Amino acid sequence: MIIFIILCIYFIFLGLLFIEPKYRSFASITFITTLFIFPSSSFFVQYYFKYQFFAWYFFMIGPTLIYFHKKFIRGKLKWFSVKNIFYLSSFTLIFLIYGLLIESKSIIHVLIDLKVVSLFFFGIIFYYTCKEYLSGFFESKLWKRLLIINLVIDSFLFFLNYQYGLSYLISNDKFYLVNDVARYSDLSLPFLIVFMIYKISFKRNISWVEFLSVVLPIFYSGNRTTLIILFVIAILYLWRLGLMKFLKYGMVFSIIILFTSLLFVFSTDQNIIGRFKTLFDKEVVVKKLSSRFEPVFLEFNDWDKSYYWVFGKGFGKSIYIPWFSYRDNINDYNAYVDNLYFTLFIKFGLSSILIYFYLINYYKFLFQRRSLCNLLLLYFSIIGLTTAFIYQSSFLVFLLSPALVYRKYI
């Protein structure tokens, strides 16, 4: 609790510092830097997350005050902001009332759903107040140093987890004991994905330091879906460089694939390489998918009303997860399943398509470059198959990404 309070004070200080014009650049960059290199893995969650609230949310105090001062008091509220406030508020109010009327809901799960809505507001506020101070961030010398620092931190923590089981020692969560493949992932991962997409969109060359700084943390995470997306992104990157560079870098890429294939052959299921190896085992994939979607099928068995398929069960709907029973520290009912499309369908039925339209329009409006927007939406469409990413801590970084890739002179 003490560490959480200290972190809250730290981010409140940065937020209040942002109010003063001459410190806004420092506060914005320091906030992003902290998010990127802070060891925010799930097994450290007790130190930065309490009462459904992440410590870094407090930074938004400053930008929010500045935003409303400029937009409302000075009468400079943009039409995009007005539409966003109206659409989000209307959708939330309708489905909140509907959800509470059809069945009783846990206040915690209602707040979790409302938190996702609030993050969209945070993303808009952050873009309009901080983008000027983050212009060209991914091209800066600071970012290049941060890539190396983050690689060192992630490598060190991955080693501790692999060698000594740090995740279970810190959290005492049986999940890390049962899942014996040591992994490490934190908020740096969405930053790295956005950075790669940025590089492809602007046809920037990727140095070996940048390449390793992106690939190794993704490897440490053990995230198989992200690995597939990274492979697709790499192919797109090589193609966009032109035929000659495609052939040149394609040779290097082929050697990497060959080396990785050899690692797969000699790996076991008890290490992280073996985890990626299971992607090519049909029986394992089918078994994992059927297990992952079991909560969805159990939920649909109770859908005896036709309007559930159109409107779902509203805000605050929780889903029974059978395999949570062995974990003493969490509820057997969760706000989401490991699939964005099923999660939103259970909550909002066919009406969930409105959320996808909103997400697309959000990025189309805020991103300066269409190709950058399209690549990020491609990433979302794939990652959504294996995770309800809008409920993950990483979603905040993706909502802040339009400001991260903003360039004052494009």
pLDDT class of 228 with cuts at 50, 70, 90 = confident
Give residue-wise pLDDT tens across range 67-82. 887 766 655 556 556 6
pTM of the model as a whole: 0.86
Residue 268 has pLDDT above 50, yes or no: no
- 3 state DSSP class of 387: coil
Lowest mean pLDDT among 85-89, 169-173, 313-317: 169-173
Beta bridge partners, 334, equal: 319
Q: Name the least confident of 132-141, 338-347, 367-376.
A: 367-376
Burial category of 128 from C-beta neighbours within 10 Å (exposed 0-12, middle 13-18, buried 19 and up): buried
**Main-chain dihedrals φ then ψ at residue 180, nearest 5 degrees:** -85, 5
Range with top average pLDDT, 33-37, 76-80, 312-316, 402-406 = 33-37
DSSP character string of 247-298: HHHHHHHHHHHHHHHHHHHT--TTSHHHHHHGGG-HHHHHHHHHHHTHHHHH
Percentage above 70 pLDDT, the chain: 78
Asked if residues 32 and 145 have their Cβ atoms less than 8 Å apart, the reply is: no
Show the CA angle centred on residue 80, arms to residues 68 and 339, nearest 5°. Answer: 100
> What percentage of the chain exceeds 90 in pLDDT?
35
Spatial separation of the C-alpha atoms in residues 260 and 84, rounded to whole Å: 45
Query: What is the reported pLDDT for 30?
Result: 97
Give 227 or 194, the one with higher predicted confidence. Answer: 194
Contact 399, 114 (CB under 8 A): no
Are the C-beta atoms of residues 192 and 138 closer than 8 Å to each other? no
Q: Is the pLDDT of residue 258 over 70?
A: no
pLDDT band, very low/low/confident/very high, at 173 (cuts 50, 70, 90)? low
Helices (H), ranges, 77-207 = 79-102, 107-130, 141-164, 166-171, 174-178, 188-201
110-167 pLDDT per residue, tens: 889 999 999 988 998 999 899 999 998 999 999 999 999 999 999 999 888 888 878 7
Is residue 92 within 8 Å of residue 308, measured between CB atoms?
A: no
Token pair for 154: 């992630």
Minimal CA–CA distance to 81: which of 92, 94, 70? 70
Confidence (pLDDT) at 211? 84
DSSP structure string for 71-97: IIISS---HHHHHHHHHHHHHHHHHHH
| pLDDT over 50 (residue 265) | no
Taking 50 as the threshold, does the pLDDT of residue 374 lie above it?
yes
Least confident of 94-98, 253-257, 291-295: 253-257
Q: Which of 74-78, 80-84, 215-219, 231-235 has the lowest mean pLDDT?
A: 74-78
Position 267 scores a pLDDT of: 46
CA distances in angstroms from 339 to 75, 229, 395, listed in the order given: 41, 16, 14
Q: Which of 44-53, 160-169, 332-341 has the lowest mean pLDDT?
A: 160-169
